Amino acid sequence: MRDFTYYVPTEILFGRGAEADTAKEIRKFGGSRVLVVTGGGSVERSGLLARIEQGLKEAGLAYEVFRGAKPNPRLSHAREGVRRALEMRADLILAVGGGSAIDTAKGIAHGAANPDTDIWDFWCGNAPLTRSMPVGVVLTISAAGSETSNSAVLTNEENGQKRGLGHDLNRPAFAIMDPELTMTLPAYQVACGVVDIMMHTLDRYFNPVWDNDLTDGIAEALLRTVIQNGRRAAADKTDYHAMSELMWCGSVSHNGLTGLGGKQDFAPHQLGHELSSRFDVAHGASLSTVWGAWAETCLQAGPARFARLGREVWGLREEDDLAAARAAIRATVDYFRELGMPTCFSELGVGVQDEATLCEMADCVTYHGARTIGSFRVMGREEILAAYRLAN
């Protein structure tokens, strides 16, 4: 087991009607002037935003609503949010929505606490992030895990880069998680979420450290839970049991627990981010598109690991490791198909790409030669290109 620090300070209020305590939580974390960050309108349509606003008014909190965080949230929009937060002298940023609203809120919190620094400099490592502002979350989709994660992902539309920032200051102060709020989701978004939740654990499970008994056991239990309840949620998104299991798995999958003591890989996420920034596709769909190709490309780095996934998660009985490994990859990709998720470029709806585009994509993933990705198998330009060719 490798050494680790586990720091997950977010207070979680989980269950039916938990959002009624939003104003109380804001006060608890010192908020009195709140910038409320939302996405493209789902929280208005569901009536959630009106309920939150009513609660803020009754509690005597000053607030403004900042709308318009898009899926694959844009840097320019977060910068605009920083200006709004500074103008209203916000002291707490409240995201009401999914990963896109939450990551925008995180960016705004960093920017408003550091008005002399352009926030992209934090994402690029050009400026150290040493202080921020509290972020609260009312979650409406089980997927990105941003409600407790140490990460925030923004897309810089000027250079087409979609980049994550990993930092403890990204952990929200509190997260309100009412599974009933996810029952208005379109089926496609439920499926995207299931894939993303699985991938946050798979991207940790596949790593070069294989003697983490508890961590691996937790990862396998989480994957079995998501697979089973993903099926139930796909059949009926008003199934409270399924939606609550998915919501809790979404947080646990990305708060670090399922990878403790290991060396996380996250290569599929990096391959997917390039698809999202280039074609503006949903994050979960980008991941199901590349995972099978990533697995084929990396299989020889550890057939026994794939075989263990097959036996412990998919219940496979093959004794030969390579046969079990191949069957595990098939089972995972088949499950994505069963959910209606894309498993190659044409199913993603972006068409077959020519070789020059694939090369350009591989170059972008390596930041033009400045980095490799992954740890299970370290991938440079050639391995990345091989994976994209397989997914094409």
Q: Which is nearer to ligand NZQ, 284 or 292 (CB)?
A: 284
User: Are 313 and 224 a contacting pair, CB within 8 Å?
Assistant: yes
Least distance from C-beta 53 to ligand NZQ, angstroms?
A: 16
Q: Which is nearer to Zn ion, 26 or 373 (CB)?
A: 373
Contacting ligand NZQ within 191-210 (CB under 6 A): 193, 196
Span of 130-138, 179-187, 194-202, 300-308 interacting with Zn ion by CB under 5 A = 194-202
Among 55, 71, 208, 340, binds ligand NZQ (CB under 6 A): 71
Binding of ligand NZQ by 149 (CB under 6 A)? yes
Checking phi first, is residue 262 left (phi over 0); if not, alpha (psi -120 to 50) or beta?
Answer: beta
Provide the total of helices (H) and of strands (E) in the chain, helices listed first.
Answer: 16, 8
Residues 255-284, mask of contacts with ligand NZQ (x by CB under 6 A): --------------x-------------x-
- For strand 174-177 and strand 135-139, is the pairing parallel, antiparallel, or unpaired? parallel
- How would you list the strands of the sheet with 11-14, edge to edge? 11-14, 174-177, 135-139, 92-97, 33-38, 62-66
Least distance from C-beta 253 to Zn ion, angstroms?
A: 9
Contacting ligand NZQ within 153-192 (CB under 6 A): 153, 181-182, 184-185, 189
User: Are 353 and 392 a contacting pair, CB within 8 Å?
Assistant: yes
Q: How many residues bind Zn ion (CB under 5 A)?
A: 1
Amino acid at 160: G
Among 19, 196, 216, 265, binds Zn ion (CB under 5 A): 196
Span of 5-13, 53-61, 87-95, 150-158 interacting with ligand NZQ by CB under 6 A = 150-158
Which residues does 341 contact at the CB level (< 8 Å), separation at least 6? Answer: 191, 192, 195, 284, 285, 288
Residues 101-120, mask of contacts with ligand NZQ (x by CB under 6 A): x-x-----------------
Which is it for the CA torsion 98, 242, 203, 390, positive or negative? negative
- Which of the choices ligand NZQ, Zn ion, none does residue 146 contact, using the CB cut-off of 5 to 8 A by kind? ligand NZQ
Look up residue 125 and give its two tokens: 């490592």
- For strand 151-156 and strand 161-166, is the pairing parallel, antiparallel, or unpaired? antiparallel
Q: Which residue bears the tokens 């960016």? A: 107
- Which of the choices Zn ion, ligand NZQ, none does residue 41 contact, using the CB cut-off of 5 to 8 A by kind? ligand NZQ
Contacting ligand NZQ within 22-61 (CB under 6 A): 39-43, 46
Consecutive H or E run containing 52: helix 48-58
φ, ψ at 267 (rounded to 5°): -60, -45
Q: Which is nearer to ligand NZQ, 72 or 311 (CB)?
A: 72
What is d(CA 120, CA 73) in angstroms, rounded to the nearest whole number? Answer: 13
- Give the interface with ligand NZQ as residue ranges (CB under 6 A): 39-43, 46, 71-73, 97-101, 103, 140-141, 143-146, 149, 151-153, 181-182, 184-185, 189, 193, 196, 254, 269, 283
Chain positions contacting Zn ion, by CB under 5 A: 196
